[in-house]
Amino acid sequence: MHYEGNIIRPPSEANSILLQVTVGCSRNKCTFCGTYRGERFKIKPDSIIMEDIAFAAQYCKRQRRVFICDGDALIVPPKRLLTILTEIEKQLPWVTRVGLYANAKSLKRKTPDELKTLKDHGLGIIYMGLETGDDVTLKKINKGATAGDMIQMGKKARAAGIRLSITVLLGIAGKTRSKIHATETGRVLSEIDPEYIGALSLMLIPGTPLYQDYVSGEFTLLESVEMLEELKDMIAATNLSKGLFYANHASNYLPIKARLPKEKEATIKLIDAALAGEIALKPEYMRAL
């Protein structure tokens, strides 16, 4: 397989075939993210992509899923993306699902019919970074979309029949807007009603604009207990018809996996127990991106 630069994938795609179609991220301006700093975004040549699919056809017969890397693969024009999916169907007939990252911009560029066509050819799940439902914080972290945009595009993906996994970021609003961030994020998640939600805890990365704000005192990082309080408020404000809320990423202080709405109250009680000191939190040295 041909890989360039940093390769990232969701935790749930740990056992997937990683097919790199793009290098970097089409946005690459979020203040908290250092993954692709200094890396120019590009779509890889079709010849290389097809070589990698052929390699997977020979050596990856035990893997049932494909994750198309990297930062925002849905930005690939629909005809090219359909060609890639069609080749996966042809050469990897045992694959049951293809997933990729997307943002509001790339979803906006696809028509409902184009998304449905991609779904019909194997695109089964889209991972979208919401980070926060608070418009003030979205603007401050330079996300490039409003909460309204996120709701509209999230609903668009769901209407096409594609499963949606949304990532939110605990602590991203700092101390002053923590409560607003939690409740507004819960509101946006409720309106989109995705199948999956993944909550990560902010870890500052040296060299990023947000890290510089932290060093200068313009941004205050939440303490572990404050992160948990924010998580509790967010879950309390999130009303799903049926979905999974994960907070079991390596960055989190308290691992949580809850089915909402069924396990909502039990999860809030679990967080309360942790806040009361009845459950030990993950120590800082064990946290990771």
**Residue-level pLDDT at 287:** 86
Residue 166 backbone phi and psi in degrees, to 5: -110, 135
**Residue-level pLDDT at 199:** 96
The domain ranges of the chain are 11-279
Average pLDDT over every residue of 240-251? 93
Query: Per-residue confidence at 97, pLDDT binned at 50, 70, 90?
Result: very high
Nearest residue to 66 (alpha-carbon basis) of 80, 55, 75 = 55
Average pLDDT over every residue of 100-128? 97
Q: How many CA atoms lie within 13 A of 63 on its CB side?
A: 20
Percent pLDDT > 90 in the chain is 89
The burial class, CB within 10 Å (0-12 / 13-18 / 19+), for 281 is middle
pLDDT over threshold 90, residue 198 = yes
Q: Which residue has the tokens 């991203």?
A: 172
Calpha distance 246→167 (Å, rounded): 9
**Residue-level pLDDT at 248:** 85
Average pLDDT, the chain: 96
pLDDT digits (tens, 9 = 90+) for 162-193: 999 999 999 999 999 999 999 999 999 999 99
SS3 per residue for the chain: CCCCCCCCCCHHHCCCEEEECEECCCCCCCCCCCCCCCCCCEECCHHHHHHHHHHHHHHCCCCCEEEEECCCHHHCCHHHHHHHHHHHHHHCCCCCEEEEEECHHHHHCCCHHHHHHHHHCCEEEEEEEEECCCHHHHHHCCCCCCHHHHHHHHHHHHHCCCEEEEEEEECCCCCCCHHHHHHHHHHHHHHHCCCEEEEEECCCCCCCHHHHHHHHCCCCCCCHHHHHHHHHHHHHHCCCCCEEEECCCCCCCCCCEEEECCCHHHHHHHHHHHHCCCCCCCCHHHCCC
pLDDT over threshold 90, residue 208 = yes
pLDDT over threshold 90, residue 289 = no
**Residue-level pLDDT at 284:** 85
Q: What pTM does this model have?
A: 0.95
Beta bridge partners of 163: 125
pLDDT over threshold 90, residue 278 = yes
Cβ(115)–Cβ(157) below 8 Å:
yes
Check whether domain 11-279 has CATH 3.20.20.70, yes or no: yes
Beta bridge partners of 22: 43
**Residue-level pLDDT at 222:** 97
Query: Per-residue confidence at 53, pLDDT binned at 50, 70, 90?
Result: very high
Percent pLDDT > 70 in the chain is 100
Query: Per-residue confidence at 249, pLDDT binned at 50, 70, 90?
Result: confident
pLDDT digits (tens, 9 = 90+) for 104-115: 999 999 999 999
Within 8 A by CB and 6+ apart from 195, the residues are 163, 164, 165, 242, 243, 244
**Residue-level pLDDT at 39:** 85
Query: Per-residue confidence at 32, pLDDT binned at 50, 70, 90?
Result: very high
